[in-house]
Chains A and B, each alone.
Chain A
Amino acid sequence: MFTNPTFMFIQVMNSFALGMNLFIIAAGLTLIFGVLRVVNFAHGAFYMVGAYVLMTMTNLIGDTNTGFFLGVLAAALTMGIIAFFIERFLLSHLYDKEHLLQLLFTFALVLIFKDLVKMIWGPLQHSISYPPAFKGAVDLKISYYPAYMLFLSVVGPVLAIGLWLALEKTRWGRLIRAARLDREMLSALGTDVKLVFSAVFVFGSMLAAMGGALAAPRIAVDPGMDGLIIIDCFIIVIIGGLGSLWGSFVGALILASLTVFGTLIFNEWEIVLVYIMMLTVLLIRPWGLFGHPDEERH
Chain B
Amino acid sequence: MTNRFQIYVLLVAFALLLILPFIGSRYSVELATQILIFGLLATSLNILVGYLGAASFGHAAFFAIGGYACAYFLTTLGWPLVVSMIGAVLLTALASLVIGFFCVRLNEIYFSMLTLAFSMLVWAVALKWKPVTGGDDGFVGVAVPEYLSNYFTFFLFTLGVVTISMIVLMIIGNSTMGRVFIAIRENQTRASFLGVNVRRMRLIAFVIAGTFAGIAGTLLALYVRGMYPETAFWSQSGHILIMVLLGGMHAFIGPFLGASALTLLEVTIGQYTEYWQVFVGVILVIVVLAAPEGIFGLVRSVTKRLGGQKDDDA
Contact = CB atoms under 8 A, between A and B. Distances in A.
B66 to A, nearest CB: 20
Interface in B259-301: 274-278, 280-282, 284-285, 288-289, 292
Interface stretch (B7-15, B116-124, B203-211): B116-124
Contacts of A93: 289
B138 interface: no
B62 interface: no
A104 B245 contact: yes
Contacts, number: 125
Given A100-B49, A115-B281, A271 B109 contact: no
Contacts of B75: none
A199 interface: no
A271 B274 CA distance: 31
Nearest to B292: A101
A275 B120 contact: yes
B57 interface: yes
Given A104-B242, A231-B120, A271-B128, A112 B282 contact: yes
B159 to A, nearest CB: 30
Contact of A238 (B113, B274, B276): B113
Q: State which size class the interface on A falls in.
A: 35 or more
Nearest to A283: B102
Contacts of B121: 272, 275-276, 279
A165 interface: no
B277 A115 contact: yes
Interface residues of B, number: 42
B258 to A, nearest CB: 12
Interface in B106-152: 106-110, 112-114, 116-118, 120-121, 124-125, 127-128
B235 A110 contact: yes
A174 interface: no
Contact of A90 (B57, B109, B114, B285): B285
A109 B120 contact: no
Contact of A105 (B57, B102, B107, B288): B288
Interface string A105-119: 101111110111011
A99 B127 CA distance: 30
A236 to B, nearest CB: 12
A161 interface: no
Given A115-B278, A115-B281, A275 B117 contact: yes
A150 interface: no
Nearest to B55: A100
A234 interface: yes
Contact of B288 (A37, A108, A282, A283): A108
A269 interface: yes
A234 B110 CA distance: 11
Interface in A275-298: 275-276, 278-279, 282-283, 286, 297-298
Contacts of B112: 39, 99, 103
Given A104-B284, A231-B120, A119 B275 contact: yes
A271 B124 contact: yes
A105 B281 CA distance: 9
Interface string B96-108: 0000001001111
B116 A234 contact: yes
Interface of A: 37, 39, 41, 90, 93-94, 97-101, 103-105, 107-112, 114-116, 118-119, 227, 230-231, 234-235, 238, 242, 268-269, 271-272, 275-276, 278-279, 282-283, 286, 297-298
12 contacts: A39-B112, A99-B108, A103-B241, A104-B238, A107-B238, A108-B281, A109-B285, A110-B235, A227-B234, A272-B125, A282-B117, A286-B106
Interface of B: 49, 55, 57, 102, 105-110, 112-114, 116-118, 120-121, 124-125, 127-128, 233-235, 238, 241-242, 245, 274-278, 280-282, 284-285, 288-289, 292
